[in-house]
Amino acid sequence: MALNVNIGCVANLFSRQMHFEKVGDVEHGHTHSFDHLTLLANGKLKIVVEGVESIFTAPQMIYIKADKMHELTALEDNTIAYCIHALRIGEDVDDIVDPSMVPKGVNMQSITDDLLGCDPNIGMNYKHTSCDEIIEQNKK
């Protein structure tokens, strides 16, 4: 059984594509320090969160809460899902960029600063408008 994973980063968006080739392929239990979206693009998944099982059929967007142990198991061949979230700066964000993608001598903090649009001259102030600001603007 094989789980093929591809990771992509564009602007401040992280995407982790998981291709479950066969029924029973598993993304083993793990947690994240942030909420994220899993987009089930093809097939069917069993997701177990903190021991509670749910079944999802594509196309489906699935909310995964921060700090909850979760595991994904393919219930159909050729199941494809994407974990999607914004890139962040802060504690416990080392898993956002796969270290195997980064050449030696490159500072991981500088990568996330660039992806987030952080201006190093002014610290943690970002060039991008936050999602909260956009939502508030659209309410007016």
Which of 6-15, 22-31, 55-64, 123-132: highest mean pLDDT? 55-64
Q: What mean pLDDT do residues 31-42 have? A: 87
Q: Using DSSP bridges, classify how beta strands 3-10 and 36-42 pair: parallel, antiparallel or unpaired.
A: unpaired
Band of pLDDT at residue 102, cut at 50, 70 and 90: low
Q: How far apart are CA 103 and CA 44, in angstroms?
A: 36
- Taking the alpha carbons of 113, 117, 123, 125 in that order, is the dihedral positive or negative? negative
pLDDT at 134 over 50: no
pLDDT value at position 119? 47
pLDDT at 79 over 80: yes
Q: What mean pLDDT do residues 83-101 have? A: 63
Residue 84's CB is within 10 A of a number of other CB atoms, namely 16
pLDDT value at position 135? 42
pLDDT at 124 over 80: no
Q: How far apart are CA 117 and CA 124, in angstroms?
A: 10
Residue 67's CB is within 10 A of a number of other CB atoms, namely 11
Tokens of 105: 């001598």
